[in-house]
Each structure stands twice: as structure tokens, then as C-alpha cells.
Amino acid sequence: MTFLRKAFQYCLFTAAASVGSVSFSQYNGAVEPPEHLAPGYHAMTEEQSREWLGILAGPVFEGRGTGQLGYVRAAHWVAGKVAEFGLEPKGEAGTYFQFLPVTRQTIDATQSEIVGAADLKIPGTDFGLDRFINQAEIAGKLSFVKLVGNAPKVEDNLRDRIVICVTDEQNAGRATFMLARQRPAAVLRVVETAPSSAPQLRRPRSNPTGTTGTITKQAATKIAEASGLSADWLNVKADDSTSLNATEADLTLKLRIRDEPVAVPNVLAWIPGSDPELRHEYVVIGAHLDHLGNQGGIVYPGADDNGSGSTAILNIAKAMSQNPVKPKRSVLFTWFAAEEVGLVGSAYYCDNPLLPFEDMVCMLNIDMVGRNEEKPQEPASENEDSLHLVGSKKGDLALHDAIEKANKHVNLAFEFDEEGVFGRSDQANYYRKGISVAFLFGGFHPDYHQPGDKPEKINYKKLVSAARLFYLTAHFAADHGRFVMPKDEKQAEKTE
Ligand SMILES: [Zn+2]
């Protein structure tokens, strides 16, 4: 199907070429952009995209992880670029940033302890938590659990109990997960090595429900003896089976949790519309800037996800600022934070908008437009010029039509079969607010969420084409005005 379409468009291209578009380097079949938008269109280049994405997905920003210095550096770098292009800051207090209320919580081991009856005291250096609820005291009745063998089952109810568990090697990795399903107050797995607590990001819409961690054998032995259990029970022997020992002893984790703010900003920049009557209305163009960052020393550069989208909309920002003709309505560019941890940056913006939603024309989102989709039955070579256009038929179809109109000047091969990913990027939060949206997505490939998602594997022509498509679409949309959701139409009908 794609092949036939391309052959047909090649005929169109040769016809167009014969009327003299010599330096036009878009996909075959594309026609020159409208003259008044041409300077901006041609200001978006592969060369500049390669340079910018090389920085965004390069060593300095270390994969732009939420809560990591690399993300903060990337956000500042983007702010620096848009300032250089002359875009206005639209974040908080005259800056380009909207800071999410994220904190890093760490447990101060020197001021934490576990206490029980008869002066039982375990110092904070003898246990560590990798996940914890935001509570200085976690108390409950004490249970001991031993998990051994294949598919061990604990029949008793552990709800609200403090559980100390010992396991054989086979169950060490999954024990806390298995026990957490019974909703204990806390699970501490006995380990031979010195435990330490992992810092934890506390962010909007996240609410850990359990506390899990590890405890030294020595400390567990002390607790066992204090509650009347023989220390030998904690040893796993060859003929052991899964067992449980519920005690009546009370145990309390006293935690000194330190809470420090972490910089996790959305980046917002604005190009004012040319029409003074209409410029309070605006088109939103978005891309998430964050990726998976540095995880245990392994950097996930996220060149495609979503260095590509971040670079694409940076191209659009520069193009619009340089094009002599501005859109009638304004354009708000948003580089979202914390998308990879659950669309957090866009959710926070939608809950705390800095501009009225009723003035929003539409939202155009770009996430992963730098690679050729690759599936077992679909080699990458078949997807040189294809992108998925997602969600554009869920709202006002006039927006979809505007994208099709823009695509005459780009000629990407659209695919419309990936609606299943609609909820997996930032436009979903705007759609929920009643905004017509469109999401440009390149599809998955073997480097998705892998350390191999590197700049040298990017298809820069496709990236620039995505930018050109939404540059034109944003102009058309900004001249059109608000796209009305079909739901709104029905409501309007009812009230008429
Ligand atoms: Zn992404």
C-alpha cells in the first residue's frame, strides 16, 4: 500500500519539479510551503537538529532523568535557546519554568531506629528502606515469615503487620513483592550485607502505599529473641518449608525522613500572535524533555524518546520566531518534565494551568519522531518516511484536516493504527480537559527505553519533517481558532 502511494506521489513530484523547485528537499510529492511561511519552514534543518539532539542526548545531560542534575541542565539549556530565539518566558514569576512540587526524601539512618518492648532498640544503620510511606512512625504487630521453595504461599493474613522475612536464594528477589500484596505495614527482608536506604522522589499524584526494605541478620536475631522466637528459626535449612510465626509483640519503625525540594521544571515559552484581538488565544505545542536518566551508572540517552520531539519543537520555536509572518493567535511551547514517571509534568500543568484553558486552540504533541518503526514483521527500511498520527480524529475533525493540509507540504506517510498509545503521552491530559489534540509518534523499535537509543541512530530527515508538519499545522490552527470537541457540540445542541 505504501509503495503504491509513493509511486503515485513521485509522478506529482516530477510535475512540481518541472516548474522549478530546485533547492526543495522534502519527501517526494511534497509541494512548496505557502510563500509567507517559507522562511520559517526552511529554517528547520537536519544540520541544526543533529547539533541540538547531540547535546540533548549527549553526555552532559545524562539521559535527563527526573530528579537528576542532567534534567535540570537540559531544561536550562532549552530555556537558553528559546531566550536566544526571542521567545517570551511563560513560566512562573517571569521565568521559563514551572516547578513541580517534587521532593527527595532520604532516611537519616543515624537518627532512625526500630523499637520494641523491654527496651529493644535496633539502630538505623542496621536496616534500610527502598520504599517508604511518608510517616515518621510505622507500628504494628510483629510477624516472621520464611519463604522457601517453588511458589511459596503464606496463608495467614499479614495486613498491617511488621513482617521480618527470611528466604532461600530462589525467593530473595520476589519476597517483598509477594508479601506486599497482603498489605503489611512494612516488610523487612533479612540480609547478610549492610543495608542502606534509597532516596525516594515524592511527586504529585504519587502515593506509595507500603514500606519495604532490608535488615541485618544480627538485628533480626535480636528482635526474634526479644519476641520469644528462637534465633535458629531465622536460619534456612535444606528441609525447610514456607512457614509463618505471628507474634503478639509490638514493633515500631521510627524514621527521621529528610525532605528537600528537587528542581523538576516544565519549560514554557511563548510567541505572541500578530492579531491584538486574538492573541490571548493560543496553540500549545508540546514534547516531553525528560527520559530515564542515569540508573545505577547506566545512562539512557533517550535520543528518540524524546530528544527527537524536544528538538523538533525547538526547531518550530526558532522557525516561528524567524518567520516574518506570525500566526494570528499565540503559540505556547511546552517541554514537559517527568513524563516517563507517569505523565507527571503535563498532569501538573493541567491541574495548575498558567493560562486559561478556554483560550486554548488545540494541543499538538510530539513524542519519538526520530526513528523508523521496527517490528518483527515490519523492517525499519519500510518506515523511512512514516509516522503515526494519533488522536487527531478524537476531537474536532477540522484539526485533523489542518494536519492533512499541512502534510501536503511535507508528505509524511501517516499511519493511523496506533491509537492504543493515546494514553501514553502528554496530550492525553489535555484531551481530558476537553482540548482537541494530535500526537505525532514514530512507533517502537528495539532501542526503545534502552541505553542504545542514541543520536547517531536518528533519522534526521524524519525529525525535521515532523517539525515542519507541526510548524505549518500550528500556523493553520492559530489562524483557525479554537477547535471544538464533538462532545461540546452535542452539549451545545442540547442547550439550544
Ligand atoms: Zn516518550
DSSP assignment string, 359-387: GEEEEEEE---SS---BTTB-GGGGTTEE
Query: Residue 485 and residue 286: Cα distance in Å, rounded?
Result: 19
Please state whether beta strands 186-191 and 437-441 pair in parallel, antiparallel, or not at all (unpaired): unpaired
pLDDT reading at 271 higher than 80 = yes
The rounded Å distance from CA 288 to ligand 1 centre is: 7
Asked if residue 178 and residue 43 are part of one domain, the reply reads no
Going from the Cα of 86 to the center of ligand 1, the distance in angstroms, rounded, reads: 27
Give the count of domains, the chain.
2
pLDDT above 70 covers a percentage of the chain that reads 93
Phi, psi torsion values for 196, nearest 5 degrees = -145, 155
Give me the mean pLDDT over the 309-323 stretch. 98
Q: What are the start-end ranges of the E strands in 255-374?
A: 257-262, 265-271, 282-288, 293-295, 298-300, 330-336, 360-366
pLDDT-based confidence at residue 15 (cuts at 50, 70, 90):
very low
Mean predicted confidence (pLDDT) in 41-63: 98
Grade residue 487 by pLDDT with cuts at 50, 70 and 90.
low
pLDDT at 387 over 80: yes
* pLDDT above 50: residue 495: no
How many angstroms does the Cα of residue 305 sit away from the middle of ligand 1? 5
Q: Which residue has the higher pLDDT, 486 or 362?
A: 362
Average pLDDT over residues 405-430: 95
For residue 438, being part of any structural domain is answered with yes
Asked if residue 22 belongs to a domain, the reply is no
Contact, 333 vs 82, CB < 8 A? yes
Q: Tell me, yes or no, whether 278 and 377 share the same domain.
A: yes
Do 223 and 284 sit in the same domain of this protein? no
Distance 182 CA to ligand 1 centre (A): 33
Judged against a pLDDT cut of 50, whether residue 3 lies above it is answered with no
Among 54, 77, 46, 52, residue whose Cα is nearest residue 454: 54
Q: For residue 24, is it within any domain?
A: no
- Claim to verify: residue 177 and residue 221 sit in the same structural domain: yes
Mean of pLDDT values over 295-309: 97
Return the pLDDT at 23.
54
In a domain, 168, yes or no: yes
- The pLDDT score that the predictor gives to residue 488 is 54
Check residue 345 and give its pLDDT.
97
Peptide bond into 28 cis (omega under 30): no
Same domain flag for 95 and 109: no
Last residue of a domain, one of 219, 237, 259: 259
CA 163–ligand 1 middle distance (angstroms): 38
Q: Convert the pLDDT of each residue in 17-34 to its tens digit.
A: 444 444 578 999 999 999
Q: How many Å lie between the centroid of ligand 1 and the Cα of residue 140?
A: 41
Kindly tell me if the per-residue pLDDT of 486 is higher than 70: yes
Mean pLDDT within 444-466 = 98
- Domain end among 193, 225, 259: 259
The per-residue pLDDT for range 327-340, each reduced to its tens digit, is 999 999 999 999 99
Asked if residue 111 and residue 92 are part of one domain, the reply reads no
- Per-residue DSSP letter, 290: -
CA of 208 to the centre of ligand 1 (A): 24
Counting beta carbons within 10 angstroms of the beta carbon of residue 55, is it exposed (0 to 12), middle (13 to 18) or buried (19 or more)? Answer: middle
127 with 268, same domain? no
Query: Where do we find the cell 505471628?
Result: 246
Cα distances from 248 to residues 141, 216, 232, 245, in angstroms, run: 6, 22, 19, 10
Query: pLDDT value at position 203?
Result: 84
Instruction: Output DSSP code: residue 48.
Output: H
- Between 181 and 316, the more confident residue is 316
**DSSP conformational letter for 402:** H
Please give the distance, rounded to the nearest whole angstrom, from the Cα atom of residue 15 to the centre of ligand 1: 38
Give residue 355's pLDDT. 98
Residue 494's pLDDT band (cuts 50, 70, 90): very low
Other beta carbons within 10 Å of 192: 8
Q: How far is the CA of 315 from the centre of ligand 1 (A)?
A: 18
Average pLDDT, the chain: 91
Lowest mean pLDDT of 4-18, 370-384, 445-459, name the range: 4-18
User: Which grid coordinates belong to 288?
Assistant: 516531553
| pLDDT of 64 above 80 | yes
Digit-coded pLDDT (tens) for 76-133: 999 999 999 999 999 999 999 999 999 999 999 999 999 998 899 999 999 999 999 9
Query: Is the per-residue pLDDT at 283 higher than 90?
Result: yes
Enclosing domain of residue 226? 105-259
Does some domain include residue 20?
no
Cα(201)–Cα(207) distance, rounded to whole angstroms?
10
Which CATH number goes with the domain that contains 351? 3.40.630.10
- In a 3-state reduction of DSSP, which class is residue 485? coil
- Residue 206 confidence (pLDDT): 73
Ligand 1 center to 304 CA (angstroms): 8
Q: Are residues 90 and 232 in the same domain?
A: no
Same domain? 67 vs 119: no
Residue 440 near residue 365 (C-beta atoms within 8 A): yes
Q: Do residues 457 and 309 share a domain?
A: yes
pLDDT band at 382 (very low <50, low <70, confident <90, very high): very high
- CATH code, 120: 3.50.30.30
Whether residue 460 is contained in a domain is answered as yes
Q: Furthest-apart CA pair in the chain: how many Å?
A: 94
Give residue 470's pLDDT band: very low, low, confident or very high (50, 70, 90).
very high
**H/E run at residue 397:** helix 397-407
pLDDT at 492 over 60: no
For residues 377 and 483, state if they share a domain.
Answer: yes
Whether residue 4 is contained in a domain is answered as: no
| Mean pLDDT calculated for residue range 321-325 | 98
DSSP code of 484? Answer: P
Full-model pTM = 0.84
- Looking at the structure, do residues 362 and 429 belong to the same domain, yes or no? yes
Please tell me the distance between residue 291's alpha carbon and the centre of ligand 1 in angstroms: 7
Provide CB contacts within 8 A for 286, sequence distance 6+: 313, 333, 334, 335, 336, 346, 363, 364, 365, 366, 426, 427
The CA 57 to ligand 1 mean position distance, Å, reads 13
Where among 207, 233, 259 does a domain terminate? 259
Residue 27 lies in a domain: no
